[in-house]
A = this chain, B = another copy of it.
Amino acid sequence: MPRRADLSDTFCPVGRSAELLGDRAVLLILRDLFFGRRRFEAIVANTGLGPQLVSARLKLMEKEGVVERHAYQARPPRHEYRLTAKGKDLFDVLYAMRNWAERWAYAEGETGTGPAMRYIHRACGTDVGTSTVCPGCGQPLRYGDLKGEPSAALRAEQAARGG
């Protein structure tokens, strides 16, 4: 595509975020990182994206300060990618996307198989459903507060992708 207008320096914070987050690949990679997938090949396999795309986006995300490259062994050189504090702070965005999709998955009167993943608030044991605040204890939900339990369907799908 032609060079589009860059919104990185706009005053509007949504415009600035959209430069990074308005990209399917970035979102999928972030999802995988939040799920604990740190190795390049695992991310490629699970997202279904090409390795060049994953490579390019990880470089961008590193430049933006949301991920960090760590060498976890020297010979042969092997790296993994980890979310930085700035990256972990994107939890609210991904969680909001998850909540929205779960709420509107079967809006047309279809019956679904239930949520892909149930989230339990560690502090009080409540299933948080699709809320931003724990329905049991009223606490706002942050990264690390939740324990995810993937449904059988989700686990099967990920296994099929080799992720």
Q: Are A116 and B153 in contact (CB under 8 A)?
A: no
Closest to A97 in B: B17
- Chain A residues 1-35 with CB under 8 Å of chain B are 4-5, 7, 10-19, 21-28, 31
Report if A56 contacts B (CB, 8 A).
Answer: no
- Whether A116 contacts B24 in the complex (CB less than 8 A), given A92-B132, A100-B90, A140-B132, comes out as no
Q: A21-B97, A97-B18 are in contact. Are A13 and B92 (CB under 8 A)?
A: no
- Interface SS of A by simple majority: helix
- Which B residues lie within 8 Å of A10 (CB)? 157
Residues in B with CB closer than 8 Å to A149 are none
User: Is the CB of A80 closer than 8 A to any CB of chain B?
Assistant: no
- A48 to B10: give the CA distance in the assembly, Å: 12
A100 and B92 contact, Cβ closer than 8 Å, known pairs A11-B154, A22-B24, A116-B12? yes
Mark the stretch among A37-45, A68-76, A103-111 that contacts chain B: A103-111
Which size class do A's interface residues fall under?
Answer: 35 or more
| Nearest-Cβ distance from residue A141 to partner chain B, whole angstroms | 8
Chain B contacts of A48 at CB under 8 A? 5
Q: A11-B151, A17-B100, A18-B28 are in contact. List 20 more A-B contacts (CB 8 A).
A: A4-B24, A5-B48, A7-B28, A11-B153, A11-B157, A14-B27, A14-B31, A14-B97, A14-B101, A18-B27, A18-B97, A22-B23, A22-B27, A22-B28, A23-B23, A89-B104, A92-B96, A93-B96, A132-B140, A133-B140
